[in-house]
């Protein structure tokens, strides 16, 4: 089977830029990738996971299958580039079929503590083995787990995703795709899944399509990915998005078969994918993520104008919105804050004095540009507000005359239960303070968030948000959850009262 020209053994021969570990930002769920029908498929998966590293930096895993060697797996803590780069490791993952996962823990153990929680998960069934990688969060996982344990299941991890493997094992269906259908009908919440058997690559999105999943063509083979940017890195052609509620079963010989295992539902894609999670060079719903973020800045400038001398992004996620704000307002754009591109998680902090430098290790103010200016700082979100206060202090220390914050998302006032690691509600600044109170708390001259309608206009909904039937999942802003978070309600979480 012919493949495109591609290095067969070393997925990486270049350096990568690591995003700093920012404790005041929402964490980016997980990333999934799979390939079938190409030689050394695991190398393609390693490259795809590298492109999806922004979605999870704690750990990564790859499973492959070869007829002569069976299923093989490798799971490691840390970055893809630090692990899946050695020829000696990649040679242990032979075959033309492979899937992988990069993890940020939203369920299961937090941080690099338990290798057993690192996906993909593998199960051996009577009709052969299967591996599964999951992006999202199962909102009834604890109830399912209790039921499965009572019926004899033995769990190996604390991850909600393992429930899917056990539900498949208990299914009476005669093939693995049918067992997966059975299992996912029991699951509530958000899930995009990439799975593999000995011959098949399988992709599934939940009925609401909360999390993304796309299909690509690579040489004579096929691939599945959380985002289109990971198709670009392996030279794959974007074919289409997997639709909400769709399952695709792909083989090298027969191509793509589409199945509809769930009841139809109105899609509720996560709107925060547009704002922050997805890479700006990805395409979502036919729209450039970069262009959407630039348009958010345009809407912000229309909704919350202010007299100033300079529009400055908080790098890097605030950059497209700042460009849009500057263009619409006519106020000059400038890189008033510069990010240290080489500040990674492994940075040595030997003394208390160094630790107290905090955000200054990651960001530095361009003093020559800032001094004496009225500055508009454009950021993607405010979660706890700790980083925003530090950045404001840095700007004032550099001699800025005024500091105005403009935020490219509505206030984050509710936790997400669909695959994003958000703090408890009382730790979210917008849950306990009004916009004016947040402005006073941050100590800035003004603070304005884009409205929910403005955000919807920026993503292409000209009439704004449909209050009766919202077009997206925006629960972190509105408190309106499209799927009831059963496990959290059982623990005492109070849903927003109906208006």
Nearest Cα to Cα of residue 204 among 131, 260, 162, 255: 260
Q: What pLDDT digit, counting tens, does each position of 395-435 carry?
A: 999 999 999 999 999 999 999 999 887 768 888 999 999 99
Is residue 340 within 8 Å of 362, Cβ to Cβ? yes
Cα–Cα distance between 466 and 461 in angstroms, integer? 9
Check residue 356 and give its pLDDT.
47
* Residues belonging to the active site: 30
The ranges of the chain with pLDDT < 50 are 1-23, 111-112, 345-352, 354-356
Q: Which residue has the tokens 């040489």?
A: 219
Is residue 297 within 8 Å of 328, Cβ to Cβ? yes
Phi, psi of 213 (to 5 degrees): -165, 130
Is residue 278 within 8 Å of 52, Cβ to Cβ? no
Check residue 34 and give its pLDDT.
98
Cα–Cα distance between 263 and 203 in angstroms, integer? 17
Peptide bond into 106 cis (omega under 30): no
Cα–Cα distance between 138 and 134 in angstroms, integer? 10
Nearest Cα to Cα of residue 133 among 256, 66, 45, 12: 45
Check residue 1 and give its pLDDT.
41
Half-sphere exposure of residue 337: CA atoms within 13 angstroms, side-chain side: 31
Measured distance between the N- and C-terminal CA atoms of the chain, rounded to whole angstroms = 59
Residues facing residue 270 across a β-bridge? 473
Cα–Cα distance between 118 and 136 in angstroms, integer? 14
Is residue 157 within 8 Å of 117, Cβ to Cβ? yes
Cα–Cα distance between 266 and 438 in angstroms, integer? 35
pTM, whole model, 2 decimals? Answer: 0.89
Check residue 106 and give its pLDDT.
55
Tokens of 496: 């927003």
Q: Strand (E) positions, 87-169?
A: 97-103, 121-125, 128-138
DSSP string covering 433-488: --HHHHHHHHT-SEEEEPPHHHHHHHTT-TT---SSS-SEE-HHHH---SS--HHH
Burial 144-178 (b: 16+ CB within 10 A, else e): bbebbeeeebeeebbbbbbbbbbbbbebeeeebbb
Biggest distance spanned by C-alpha atoms of the chain: 72
> Which alpha helices (DSSP H) does 151-221 contain, by range?
162-170, 176-185
Q: Which DSSP symbol is given to 253?
A: T
Cα–Cα distance between 177 and 415 in angstroms, integer? 33
């Amino acid at each position: 089977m012919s493949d495109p020209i591609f290095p067969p053994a070393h997925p990486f021969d270049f350096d990568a830029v690591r995003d700093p570990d920012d404790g005041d930002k929402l964490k980016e769920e997980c990333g999934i990738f799979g390939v079938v029908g190409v030689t050394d498929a695991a190398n393609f998966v390693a490259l795809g996971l590298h492109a999806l590293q922004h979605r999870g930096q704690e750990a990564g895993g790859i499973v492959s299958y070869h007829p002569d060697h069976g299923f093989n797996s490798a799971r490691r803590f840390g970055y893809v580039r630090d692990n899946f780069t050695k020829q000696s490791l990649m040679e242990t993952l032979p075959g033309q079929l492979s899937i992988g996962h990069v993890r940020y823990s939203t369920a299961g153990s937090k941080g690099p503590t338990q290798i057993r929680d690192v996906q993909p998960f593998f199960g051996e069934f009577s009709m052969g083995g299967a591996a599964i990688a999951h992006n999202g969060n199962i909102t009834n996982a604890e109830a399912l787990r209790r039921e499965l344990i009572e019926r004899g299941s033995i769990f190996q991890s604390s991850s909600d995703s393992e429930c899917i493997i056990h539900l498949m094992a208990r299914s009476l269906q005669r093939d693995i795709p049918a067992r997966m259908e059975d299992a996912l009908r029991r699951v509530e919440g958000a899930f995009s899944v990439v799975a593999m058997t000995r011959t098949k690559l399988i992709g599934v999105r939940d009925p609401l399509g909360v999390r993304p999943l796309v299909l690509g063509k690579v040489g004579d083979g096929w691939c599945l990915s959380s985002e289109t940017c990971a198709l670009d890195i392996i030279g794959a052609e974007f074919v289409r998005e997997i639709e909400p509620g769709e399952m695709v079963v792909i083989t090298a010989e027969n191509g793509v078969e589409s199945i509809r295992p769930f009841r139809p539902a109105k899609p509720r894609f996560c709107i925060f994918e547009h704002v922050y999670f997805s890479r700006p060079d990805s395409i979502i719903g036919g729209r450039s993520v970069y262009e959407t973020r630039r348009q958010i800045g345009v809407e912000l400038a229309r909704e919350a104008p202010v007299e100033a001398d300079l529009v400055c992004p908080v790098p890097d996620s605030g950059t497209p919105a700042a460009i849009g704000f500057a263009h619409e307002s006519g106020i000059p754009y400038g890189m008033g804050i510069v990010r240290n591109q080489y500040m990674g998680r492994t940075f040595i902090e030997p003394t208390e004095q160094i630790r107290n430098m905090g955000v200054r290790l990651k960001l530095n103010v361009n003093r020559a540009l800032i001094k004496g200016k009225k500055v508009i700082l454009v950021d993607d979100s405010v979660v706890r507000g700790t980083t925003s206060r530090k950045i404001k202090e840095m700007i004032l220390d550099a001699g800025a005359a005024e500091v105005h914050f403009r935020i490219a998302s509505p206030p984050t006032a509710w936790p997400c239960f669909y695959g994003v690691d958000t703090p408890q509600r009382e730790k979210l600044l917008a849950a306990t303070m009004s916009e004016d109170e947040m402005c006073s708390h941050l100590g800035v001259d003004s603070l304005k968030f884009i409205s929910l309608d403005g955000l919807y206009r920026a993503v292409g909904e000209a009439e704004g948000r449909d209050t009766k039937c919202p077009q997206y999942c925006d629960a972190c802003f509105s408190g309106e959850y499209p799927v009831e978070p059963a496990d959290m309600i059982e623990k005492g979480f109070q849903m927003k009262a109906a208006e």
